[in-house]
Structure 1
């Protein structure tokens, strides 16, 4: 079967309308949750005619995927272990703080993300791809430190990256989304840094 033709490029005005719909969708999802949001809510919030919504997105699910894709890009823009810095421990500290700031920007949507992840397979696949790319960068950093003799050679870089990422991610989720009582930002981040560095056996130097 012939493939469907690519949609025509948007005009400047069309691009602005599409961006307005994406921004409105995020705000409505954060306010109502995914299940209770309707296309009519998004269109009204964006001040766009109901029928015009479908010029840009075929469904509520499609605009949600766009919102989520941008969120994941923001969350994983800085991998858990950035490639350069004065020392491995300093890189980890910088990455954890960058991730905290990204999580703080996106905390309201993260609750919706977890809701949709329980039933939408297309969304689950998108999240896996973003996470795999970020974890891959972290695993490669750990492997470099192994070659430099800083991390034990018998440690699996990918599994270590997954475990340490899960520790940071879930700690921030419980604190920023679920509202768990925490002793303060710096104390929490310092603790996560220390656990990360010591788990890998890295020298704790600035």
Structure 2
């Protein structure tokens, strides 16, 4: 998936959750100088949301960090939720692009370890904003954030189910409930990322991410009812 495709995809996800006002967005298009101000506000928003959390960040915090007037904020954004979505978007784009198709060259087990490790590495780079999405989903009066989180989660599970159905179509799996298995694997990955990466006091080191990725990959491999387990690793 290219960067543009990922961006378009996240906009579609925002729209599906009722969070993207395309009319308002188009009315706030600006020149190059305006775009520079907008980018500066977004960078400041990331810093403020990371420091103060979703519920405690104020517009004045963001404009102070950006060293600009509050009037400039409303030239580019309609609300705190609006700039939160803009600040969150790059993290969601990178996470979407990290979901690689498993490469079974070195066996199913090693490919699952690689895919899960790559996912956790991406999560770690974006852990503050991804953690804040869960905060917004739980605490915001805007129910669109809850819908957004559930939709993103459902898409991850859907991709996993698609992978399982492909294996099943190749007659590589014993009979099982593929929908429930996809949900179970999704829950394991989600909690591992959130608890051990998102909530960690500091960003986990590379070795820790690899350890977590291997644990997840082994869990996926053992939980998936392959007819033949001839892969090494």
Q: TM-score range by the shorter chain?
A: 0.7 to 0.9
In structure 2, the residue matched to 1:52 is 72
SS at match of 1:152: coil
Q: Specify which of 94, 117, 127 is matched with residue 149 of structure 2.
A: 127
- In structure 1, what is the equivalent of residue 174 of structure 2? 152
Which residue does the alignment assign to 2:56?
36
Q: How many residues align?
A: 201
Deviation at 1:38? 0.7
Tell me the secondary structure at the aligned position of residue 117 of structure 1.
helix
Is 1:19 paired with 2:36? no
In 2, Cα distance between the equivalents of 1:178 and 1:83?
27
Equivalent residue, structure 2, for 1:175: 196
1:92-132 Cα distance to aligned partner (Å, 9 max, x none): 22211111111211222333222211133111222233333
The answer to which structure, 1 or 2, has the higher relative contact order (CA under 8 A, 6+ apart) is 2
The corresponding residue for 2:127 is 107
Question: Aligned equivalents of 2:67 and 2:104: distance in 1?
Answer: 46
- Please report how far the alpha carbon of residue 85 of structure 1 lies from its aligned counterpart in structure 2 after TM superposition: 4.2
Which residue of structure 2 lines up, in the alignment, with residue 69 of structure 1? Answer: 89
- The alpha-carbon deviation at position 4 of structure 1 amounts to 5.4
Cα deviation for residue 48 of structure 1 reads 2.0
1:22 CA drift (Å): 1.3
- Distance in 2 (CA, whole Å) between partners of 1:152 and 1:69 is 39
User: Is the contact made by 1:25 and 1:42 (CA closer than 8 Å) also made in structure 2?
Assistant: yes
Deviations 1:13-72 (A, max 9, x none): 222221221111011100011222110111111122111100111111111122223322
The answer for the alignment partner of 1:166 in structure 2 is: 187
Mapped to 1, the partners of 2:211 and 2:121 lie a distance apart of 15
Deviates more, 1:64-73 or 1:144-153: 64-73
**In 2, are the aligned partners of 1:76 and 1:134 still within 8 Å (CA)?**
no
Alignment CA distance shift 1:172-1:142 (3 Å): same
User: Secondary structure, in 3 states, of the residue corresponding to 2:138?
Assistant: coil
Conserved? CA contact 2:120–2:209, under 8 Å: no
Report the CA distance between 1:7 and its aligned residue: 1.5
Mapped partners of 2:197, 2:103: distance in 1: 28
2:216 is matched with: 192
The answer for the alignment partner of 1:137 in structure 2 is 159
Cα distance between partner residues in 1 of 2:200 and 2:186 = 20
